[in-house]
Each structure stands twice: as structure tokens, then as C-alpha cells.
Structure 1
């Protein structure tokens, strides 16, 4: 009798644990809302704001901004669109999550911002979004758009078609990005440090400075952060190859995660590379001051000149890049084992 009771109790506990696990992984509904007048698309997951796709004429590229955890914590820097107290004000071109490159046909798309002097603007490229192709709500939310990579005269170098897929659970948010670039003229991505998928982290997720840091913005203003004076930053990096901290920069890996405390919450952001991408696995342009980027086309600087990766497209040719961004929060962030499993699954997609 007691044995049967224990068996029933054990089965009940197992059932409850299983049900709890399933509930924790249950997909939350995604709502995608376009506002043509404001030139933005808002994304809600589980009824809560997650991010917005912004493409006003005042921005030199389209961005996802801000990005939030499942409990609403903003994990991207506020400056320059919505500065928060204590926000670092370096690199005004670092806005939310973006995709561009430092040297395409000699033009710098990455560093373009409002801070560039008018007489120097001709050295910089512009990504102009001209059409939202699709929005869809559901278990997975979809946003697709078309944009042109142009010079200042609006001559088109590349046509971009990007598809975002958004999903989430009680403590996780996922962005799958598929971007196809088709050359309108012969186009060369000359190996450069600044690219390709970039994300600027909230202050808390920066690494604590171990030495004085000096930043000079595009207006020549100098900011110095003294080592040990920043009591907010507590982030760290970890790659699939086991590199941590500053050693993540210039290393290669299938994925890289930044993680830290934001209030009492453990927050992590991981970027996962896709095996079909050029130069897989990517190099990580992951900086302690808050820039978190995947750049497969920066091999020359990341290998100290031992090799280079120049990508050339003849007119009419195209290349596709795929990346997954995973934002987690809760008692602990997503583990290396879970990221390895997710990367394996994503690689089959």
C-alpha cells in the first residue's frame, strides 16, 4: 500500500515538474504593429514591448531599438536616441542592434552618424529603407523590409532584403535575422574591423574597466573613464571556444555571450553564427566598453595581418548572412550547453 502511494506521489511530482518545465518553455504570442507615418514597426511579445524597428530619414541606417528582456529590462544603451543618466556618449553611431560595414566600395557605412561634419559626409554610406515588405503576428512574429545601400548622391550600391523572426518565452527573447545583399554595381567589402552585426550594450553589461579608457567622438570631444570609478558595469564575455573577457575580441567562435547583473536579475545576450555564413565561424568584435559585434569580414586586423577576407560581388550577385540573437534573464543566464544545443539546432534551419 505504501509502495503504491509512494509511486503515485512520485508520478505526481514528476508530472508537476514536467508541466512546470513545459510552462516555462511555452511560446508567448508575438504582435507586430507597423506605423508608416512614424516609419517604425513595434514588436510585442507576451503583450509586452520587446523592440521597435526604426527607419526614419534622420538615421543613417535602420535599427532595432531598444531591446528588452522578457521582464522589460532594456539591455541596449539609451544614447543617442533616448539618453539615460550615466550613459556613455562615445560612438554616436552605436544604436541598438544594426547591420552594416566600414568599407564597401571605399565608403564607410558603419561610422556614419549625425556627428560627421558636412564636408566629410561624402566618405560615408547610407542605408535607406524604402519598403516594409511583410509584417505578421503569431507564435513567431515576422518583419521583412527592403533597403538600399547608397552613397550621399543616393546611387545604389547594394539592395538589401532582410527578414526578422521574433519569438519568446517567459524568460527568453529570440531574434533570427536573414539579410541578403544584392549588388547593383560591382561591390567589394574590403576587410575592415568595424562590421557586421553590431549591438551596443546597456551600461550595466559593459566590462569593468581595469585601466583608464579614452574615447574621442567624431566631433573631437574626449572622454576619459578612470579605472575603478565605474560602479555600474559588471559584464563579461564568453565564447563557444572558451574565451572570456577581453580575450573574446578577435577570437573566432560559433557563439559569443555577454552576461551580467541588471538589478537583481541575471541577464545574458548571445549572438549565434550560422554555418552557411561566409567565413564561418565568425570573428568577435567584442569590446569591454559595450560594443558587441560579429564580423566575419574583419580577418586582417583580427589576425594581425596574417590573412584577409575581402568579399567581392559582381553586379547582380548576392550574399546572405544569418544570425540569431538570444536574450535571457532570470536566476541565471542561458548556459554554454544550452547555447551549443541551440547553435546546433539553428545550424539546421
Structure 2
């Protein structure tokens, strides 16, 4: 009996430290999570996704399904797992809008690259018109590293025309962090030209988020928006119950007045089922076109567009950015998701200084 107990004790001592690894490898919630893996990146090649888990809760996922025209982060949640992004067109939720099927989660692309529209491409585009649009193809996951303070995901993509010719290669690093009621996403994107490339001034760009219905602006009138190809999209009037969003820029502008203005950051605040939520996008001084113009609409499109200056400024500014074959440009942004408390200018400014120091 004494020998049997000794064997059991040895087995416990040997296997106990391995339990967190076993659980993680089996896709189970890591109940014995080590301190150095608070922020976990779980790669799932079969489902074409990388899940980001912070303190045991799902924050977001990098997804690259074959039926959408670019990889995106979708969905994005607060620290208490409240959705801040719209569900449509992947997982519709009751009461939300179903316009603009190309607005999915968080993405980065542009409306005119060598005459091709990368922004508006989706399954809604008919085959006979596809030659006018560009697609961003996921190529590889270079690195997916978990950690105690941040998780890092490095990916490569190709910006291609309808025939598969590569215009740009993209190398993007996502840095995920968060503690308490705050979450952050850094997106650092290097675009390298594989032919001479022109980003012709266009309002459809560049870093975009499509927000949950509750974070839209209340609106009592239908609207119509036309893309660069001249295609109109109707945005109908809807029930405003529970809709509480309001934009505020670093320049002190609020609401619909922020559209087409410049600012180093933007903050969108509202409540979802009593939870105070703010989502800030921070521009970086090293970005082309800094400070960015804001393509921020009350119906839920929340985008920073540093290159589309002519349409935003009513012709006062214009920027036709270009790259020679082999040249590169890098865009740096931080998205901050606050929850649980009201967030003011001082809070966002503090985080902006931390991002740009």
C-alpha cells in the first residue's frame, strides 16, 4: 500500500504542471492559465481564424474566410464580452441594419488603387462587374504569440486584381492588450508595391469599423450613399430605441459634424444594456496624411481616411499618394475599447500620448 501511494504521489507531481498545456492544446478553457499567458492567441487553420482570449474571455478573432473580400477582425467585444461590432453579414442580430455588406468588423483597404475598388468589394458584386474591384487575400500567419502583457499576431496578405495579379503585399502586425475594463488593438500595416501603384484620392477608406446598432447615432430620416462606382445604397430610418452613440473628435466636434474633418483621434461613446462603452481610434503622426480625415457616419460606419482628402474637404485638399514598384508605406493605428465608465477627452488624450510617445 505504501508503495502504491508513493507511485500516485509521483504521478501527481509529474502531471500537475502539464494540465494547463493539455487543456490549451485540446481547445478547452485553460483554467490553470499561467500569468505569462493572460493574453492567448489560439490558431485554428481549419476554420481560417485566430482567436484572441484575454483573461479567459473572447475579445476578437482574426478571420479570413474565402467568401469575404479581405481578412478582418470580427467580432470585437468589451471586457465583459459585449459586442461593439455589427453582426451582419456573418451572424445577423435582431434590430440591426443590413446595408453595406462589405462593412465587417475591423478592416483596412481603399476605394481606388490603380482604378480598382477594394473598399466596396463583397459577395453582393455581380460576376460581370468583378473586374472593377480588388480583393485582399490572406497568405500566411508569420507569428502568433501569447503573453502576459500583450499578444502579437503577424500576418501577410496580397492585394490582387480580378485576375490574381498582385498590386501590393501587406505585412500587418496586430498587438492585442488589455487589463481591467480596457482593451486595445494596435494595427501596424506595411504596404509594399509590386508594381507602380496609385492611391487616387477617394472618400472610401481606409481603416474601418462597423459598429453595433446601439452605438449608432439616433436618426429619424432615411439616407442614401453613393460609392466611387456610382452605386447607391439606401440606409432606411429605423427604431431608435436603445441607440445612444455620439462621436467626439480631438478637435472638440461632435455628432455628425465630425464627418469630413481632421483630427488626431476620434471617440465614439454610448451604452449597451446599461454598460458605458467608448471606442476610440488613434491616428499616428508618422502616417501619410496625418492628421487623418474622418469618414465617420451616424449609421455605424467609423473610419479613418488619411488619403481621401478631396471629397472630405470639399476640394480644399487633395492627396494622390503613389508608390513605385518596391516602395513601401506604413500605417499605424490603435483602437481602444473602454467599458464600465464614462470616458472623456482627458482619458483618450492620455492614451493617445502613450501610443505616440
Instruction: Establish whether TM, by shorter chain, passes 0.5.
Output: yes
Counterpart-to-counterpart distance in 1, 2:282 and 2:70: 22
Alignment check: 8 A CA contact 1:27 1:168 kept? no
Does residue 256 (structure 1) correspond to residue 266 (structure 2)? The answer is yes
Alignment check: 8 A CA contact 2:38 2:55 kept? yes
1:170 pairs with one of 180, 184, 197: 180
The Cα shift of 1:230 comes to: 2.1
| 50-59 vs 320-329, greater mean Cα deviation | 50-59
* Structure 1 residues 298 and 221: alpha-carbon distance in aligned structure 2, compared to 1, 3 A threshold: closer
The Cα shift of 1:224 comes to: 2.5
2:221 pairs with one of 211, 223, 243: 211
Residue equivalent to 2:212: 202
Normalised TM-score (structure 2): 0.86
Alignment check: 8 A CA contact 1:101 1:195 kept? yes
2:282 pairs with one of 272, 280, 290: 272
Residue equivalent to 2:141: 132
Normalised TM-score (structure 1): 0.88
Alignment check: 8 A CA contact 1:64 1:98 kept? yes
Residue equivalent to 1:77: 86
Counterpart-to-counterpart distance in 1, 2:203 and 2:295: 8
Residue equivalent to 1:240: 250
1:118 pairs with one of 127, 136, 142: 127
The Cα shift of 1:214 comes to: 4.4
Q: Secondary structure at the match of 2:76?
A: coil
Q: Secondary structure at the match of 1:225?
A: coil
The count of residues paired between Structure 1 and Structure 2 equals 320
Q: Secondary structure at the match of 2:270?
A: strand
- The 5-angstrom pairing of residues 139-150 of structure 1 reads 139-150=149-160
The Cα shift of 1:346 comes to: 1.1
| 90-99 vs 50-59, greater mean Cα deviation | 50-59
Q: For 1:275-300, what per-residue CA distance to the aligned partner results, in whole angstroms no more than 9, with x for missing partners?
A: 10011111111100000000000110
Q: CA RMSD in A?
A: 1.9
- The 5-angstrom pairing of residues 61-72 of structure 1 reads 61-72=70-81
Counterpart-to-counterpart distance in 2, 1:214 and 1:304: 19
1:302 pairs with one of 309, 312, 325: 312
Unaligned runs of 5+ in 1: 1-25
The Cα shift of 1:33 comes to: 0.6
Alignment check: 8 A CA contact 1:70 1:329 kept? yes
- The 5-angstrom pairing of residues 280-319 of structure 1 reads 280-319=290-329
The Cα shift of 1:315 comes to: 0.2
Q: Secondary structure at the match of 1:128?
A: strand
Alignment check: 8 A CA contact 1:69 1:75 kept? yes
The Cα shift of 1:57 comes to: 1.7
| 216-225 vs 247-256, greater mean Cα deviation | 216-225
Task: List structure 1 runs of 4+ shifted beyond 4 angstroms.
Answer: 214-223
Q: For 1:61-90, what per-residue CA distance to the aligned partner results, in whole angstroms no more than 9, with x for missing partners?
A: 000000000001000000000000111000
Unaligned runs of 5+ in 2: 1-34
